[in-house]
Amino acid sequence: MKINGTPYRSVWRDAQDPRLVHIFDQTKLPWTLDILDLRDVEAVAHAIRTMQVRGAPLIGAVAAYGLAFALDDDASDASLEKNAAFLHETRPTAINLRWALERMVAHLSPLPTHERAEAAYREADAICDEDVKVNEAIGRHGLELIRALWAERRLVQDRINILTHCNAGWIATVDWGTALAPIYMAHDEGIPVHVWVDETRPRNQGALLTAWELGAHGVPHTLIADNAGGHLMQHGEVDLIIVGTDRVTRQGDVANKIGTYLKALAAHDNQVPFWVALPSSTIDWRVTDGVKEIPIEERSGDEVTHVHGVDEQGHPARIRVTPYETKGANPAFDVTPARLVTGLITERGLCDASADGLQTLFPEQAEQP
Ligand code: MRU
């Protein structure tokens, strides 16, 4: 996607130094476009843990480069295993992290040690290139949904209102995004889409990142408080919900940013279609019951008791919004049961959020326990 007319991916190798990888520091967006240098596995782990990079597909892609850095120093079996485990510990909920690291280990283990580092960079590049293609395909399939909705409603309303939660845009993937890819494509082909952007407390990925992305692409959008969605749905102001996800079970339960479940409940009560966009790397075929089995990241309560932003001069500001003694609790994700999900948008097409639906699109996974 473009920033001020220049095309970017969210992670890329330096043009001069192939052992240097760049990311945007997402903790500084949208106020400052800070490009960070990553050269070692510790810097990658730090970037993921502190959410300088975030979004399920992107953390997997960046972790793959982290493993390549580690193998540059020591390409032994022990190093491969130790560093994959080290990177895996950085964030617990998004399965793309495990997916990318397992793919790297499976690809690299059979190779002689002197070939591993170079092969690791190439495999990380391949993960990135595939992510772009996969998200583009998700966009095309999701676009069909928006086109159909617009064809049905164009005589009675002047725009399609789509609600999204958190940020599942290009900055959360290598490019395009998942939930936002169909929206970008619909906008580009002239469908009048308008996006209700949930602020997504406590870290405000909607207010900071989704609003920034949509604005940069010229997509009309309005920021709403997290609790406004139900009210808008009751008044016919939401035609469609599309969110991303960090992990989908083989039965179609969906883990995503905290608050997603409440949107799905309100959507169900108001017959608003609730779709989830995901690459197949987000499906955890080993897990069936999302509520019981998906680990939910617990972040610092300080993220709830304080908000951060900038003052009118652009200086960083962090403000407490509670009494001094009040403590916060901060589960970062929740699980929406499959029964509340209208359907899944994947790179292979649309399907029901169910074991049957997923296995129709991914028959090669049918045999796994
Ligand atoms: O905590 P974050 O910002 O990494 O959470 C991100 C989300 O919840 C996204 O919706 C999800 O990762 C999908 S990104 C395409």
Structural domain spans, the chain: 2-129, 139-367
330 in a labelled binding site: no
Scan for tokens 């900071």, then name that residue: 208
* Cβ density class 54-82: b for 16+ within 10 Å, e for less: bbbbbbbbbbbbbbbbbbbeebeeebbee
Distance of CA 366 from the midpoint of ligand 1 (Å): 27
Average pLDDT over residues 101-105: 98
Does the beta carbon of 245 sit less than 6 angstroms from any atom of ligand 1?
yes
Q: How far is the CA of 333 from the centre of ligand 1 (A)?
A: 9
Percent of the chain with pLDDT over 70: 99
Q: What is the C-alpha separation between 24 and 21, in angstroms, rounded?
A: 11
Question: Residue 226 carries which DSSP code?
Answer: G
**350 burial via Cβ count (<10 Å: 0-12, 13-18, 19+):** middle
Closest to 171 in 3D by CA, of 209, 134, 142, 132: 209
Q: What is the pTM of this model?
A: 0.97
Q: Which atom of ligand 1 is nearest to the CA of 297?
A: 1
205 annotated to bind ligand:
yes
Residue 243 to residue 260: CA distance in whole angstroms: 8
Mutate to test the pocket of ligand 1, among 90, 180, 257 (most ligand atoms within 8 A of CB): 257
Q: Which atom of ligand 1 is nearest to the CA of 59?
A: 4
Closest by alpha carbon to 178, among 56, 330, 20, 32? Answer: 56
Phi, psi of 38 (to 5 degrees): -115, 125
Residue minimizing CA distance to atom 8 of ligand 1: 257
**Using 50, 70 and 90 to split pLDDT, how confident is the model at 366?**
confident
Distance 174 CA to ligand 1 centre (A): 13
Centre of ligand 1 to C-alpha 27, Å, is 14
pLDDT at 291: 98
- The answer to whether residues 163 and 238 touch, using CB atoms and an 8 Å cutoff, is yes
> Which ligand 1 atom is at minimum distance from the Cα of 332?
1
Catalytic residue among 175, 198, 226, 246: 246
What average pLDDT does this structure show over 231-256?
A: 98
Helix (H) or strand (E) segment spanning residue 224: strand 221-224
Tell me if residue 269 is catalytic: no
What is the DSSP-derived secondary structure letter of residue 260?
H
User: Is there a binding annotation on residue 55?
Assistant: yes
Range with the poorest average pLDDT among 144-153, 161-170, 305-314: 305-314
Q: Note the CATH architecture for domain 139-367.
A: 3-Layer(aba) Sandwich (3.40)
Task: Tell whether ligand 1 has an atom less than 6 A from the beta carbon of residue 166.
Answer: yes
The CA 96 to ligand 1 mean position distance, Å, reads 11
Q: What mean pLDDT do residues 156-162 have? A: 98
pLDDT band at 367 (very low <50, low <70, confident <90, very high): low
Query: 115 with 155: CB under 8 angstroms?
Result: no
Whether the CB of 282 sits within 6 Å of ligand 1: no
Residues 6+ apart with CB under 8 A from 352: 252, 343, 344
* Measured distance CA(198)–CA(195) in Å, rounded: 9
Tell me the C-alpha distance between 140 and 162, whole Å. 16
337 within ligand 1 shell (Cβ under 6 A)? no
172 Cβ inside 6 Å of ligand 1 = yes
Q: Is 165 in the pocket of ligand 1 (CB under 6 A)?
A: no
Nearest to 161 by CA among 232, 217, 262, 264: 232
pLDDT tens for each residue of 342-362: 999 999 999 999 999 999 999
Distance from residue 167's CA to the centre of ligand 1 (Å): 6
* Alpha carbons 128 and 124: distance in angstroms, whole number: 6
Strand bridging mode 193-198 / 221-224: parallel
Q: At 362, is the secondary structure helix, strand, or coil?
A: coil
CA-nearest residue for atom 5, ligand 1, is 55
CATH of the domain spanning 2-129: 1.20.120.420
